[in-house]
Amino acid sequence: MPHGNHDVLIIGGGVAGLVLALEIADQRAVTLLRPASDDLGSSRWAQGGIAAVLSPSDNLEAHVQDTLVAGDGLCDEAAVRFTVEQGPEAIEWLLNLGVPFTRDTSPGADYPYHLTREGGHGARRIIHAADATGRAVMATLKAHVVAHPRIQVRDDLTAVGLLQDSAGRCRGARCLNSAGRRLDLSAHDTVLATGGASGLYRYTTSPMPASGEGMLMAAELGATLMNLEFQQFHPTCLHDPEGAPFLISEAVRGEGGKLLNIHGERFMPGIDSRAELAPRDVVARAIDSEMQRTASDHVFLDIRHLGEAAIREHFPTIHRHCAERGIDIVNAPIPVVPAAHYSCGGVATDRYGASDIEHLYAIGEVACTGLHGANRMASNSLLECLVYARSCAVALRDASRAPHTDAVNRSTVIEATPPPVQLAEWRERMRVLMSARVAIVRHDTELLKAAEALAELQQEVSPVIRQHGQPGIELSSLWHALRLARLTVASAQRRRESRGLHYNPDCPHHADHHPRPSRVRLAELG
């Protein structure tokens, strides 16, 4: 049976989910599903900061133009303008909540907080909390959420699917608790804030990235997914084969860090006039090609020119982590390698986070608003989380709240079956083949092999799914990820050009027609 009636159900407790909860809770009762693993999600690991026009010497049009250039012709300009225009007010909102952003105490400062620079930005416009912005923002938001009397946080439940009524509207979520017991939460409005799909890949910049579960849950209800082929690889993840994934922030390049090949030679100026501060797709591709040219598995990022005091002040987290891993970044360049970082595609949404399924919204990395186009510009992601969580709150405040007239999917409370022994091996197979064939460079033949191998893997897993009355959390996650991987490959196969993050040497140029976002539905998998 559906378990209670919830008003607004938010699935996911990263920056987007927490901001929405705070913005709507005075008007509507909120249930926030925030499994403990959300503390390891992408928001927490965002180092660089939040892009917004804050300095009097910067301007909105410049931020718009930089975003459009980085997006390589595929951004929705209206979405870009909307996001950029909302940015300063959204930052003010965070400052009022008490986020401890780094102050600028230098005598010539024209804004009270320090603004750094990152790839693609023509100006200093990234507000940050040293090199641990995500951690600082999350800590502040969580403290406010926990103190709010109208936000019920459920850390005992993980959503594994969405509920739909006979008219096709979303009516809440199917959840499992950690003991594998299923509960259906019926809700008037459901918001996905479940993160992206970098977990489809073997090497990632955060230890526990989402694998597109939220995107696939929306697709199961019939929602359109957009631009899945644009998976971003961050140019500089620490090359540490024995250690946990660790990002080396783009702000290191913003503060003058230089990329060197294994022979100590700088290579970016020969590739792009913006050198190390070119957009991420350009830098990641250049590193990938330099690694192949020099037959090495990494390059170096050199920040030694800053000196010890500035390194410790601006990059305390990176300095400490590298020291713990035996790398003294004051005296030696940092070994780095590109790794899966951010999904530019996701659930197609409008300016209020509404999907094309009634009563289903998506915000943050799970959504595709059109802001990022073919390549997200650095630090526009937390900006998007903030802006669209706040606009979604506006839509939910105004939404009609007629009571449910229709029953949701019926279900009994049952125990999920334990995961099959092959689970880890299946996931590893999927991630390895996505990394080998659908990464920074994707040839037609590789995409075809990926499509075939993923279809075979799905055939292997599907009898196990059918035989389980209710697959457990891990198996559900794999099932979602696998089908999303197939949709990602299909989207990449259909794009007969190279653009932004999608580079296919078999069609290496922009197609000369007006570029369009790709759209895909789950039904297309057959």
Binding residues (CB under 6 A) for ligand SIN: these are 46-48, 247, 249-251, 342, 378-379, 381
Q: Cβ–Cβ contacts within 10 Å for residue 298, how many? A: 21
CB-CB contact of 401 with 378 (8 Å): no
Active-site residue flag, 280: yes
CA–CA dist 281, 234 (Å, integer)? 8
As given in the structure block, the two tokens for residue 425 are 């091996």
CB-CB contact of 437 with 446 (8 Å): yes
Q: Which of 394, 481, 446, 403 has the alpha carbon at shortest distance from 204?
A: 481
CA–CA dist 465, 216 (Å, integer)? 16
Write the secondary structure of 502-523 as one string of H (helix), E (strand) and C (coil).
EECCCCCCCCCCCCCCCEECHH
Q: Per the residue annotation, which of 34, 253, 280, 351 is the catalytic one?
A: 280
Packing angle of the helix pair 380-398, 15-24 (nearest 10 deg): 30
CB-CB contact of 203 with 291 (8 Å): no
Stated as kind and residue range, the H or E segment containing 232 is strand 231-238
CA 18-215-506 angle, to 5 degrees, is: 130
CB of 130 to ligand SIN, least distance (A): 11
DSSP code at position 265: -
- How big is the chain by its Cα radius of gyration, in Å? 22
Q: Cβ–Cβ contacts within 10 Å for residue 324, how many? A: 10
Stated as kind and residue range, the H or E segment containing 147 is helix 133-147
CB-CB contact of 89 with 55 (8 Å): no
CA–CA dist 141, 154 (Å, integer)? 16
Pairing of strands 519-520, 225-226: antiparallel
CB of 250 to ligand SIN, least distance (A): 3
CA–CA dist 226, 348 (Å, integer)? 5
CA–CA dist 31, 11 (Å, integer)? 9
Tokens 């987290």 belong to residue: 317
Q: Cβ–Cβ contacts within 10 Å for residue 482, how many? A: 25
What's the count of helices (H) and strands (E) in the chain, helices before strands? 14, 18
CA–CA dist 54, 81 (Å, integer)? 15
CB-CB contact of 371 with 230 (8 Å): no
Distance of CA 364 to CAs 111, 191, 258, 301, Å? Answer: 27, 10, 31, 29
CB of 329 to ligand SIN, least distance (A): 15
Q: Which residues are catalytic?
A: 280
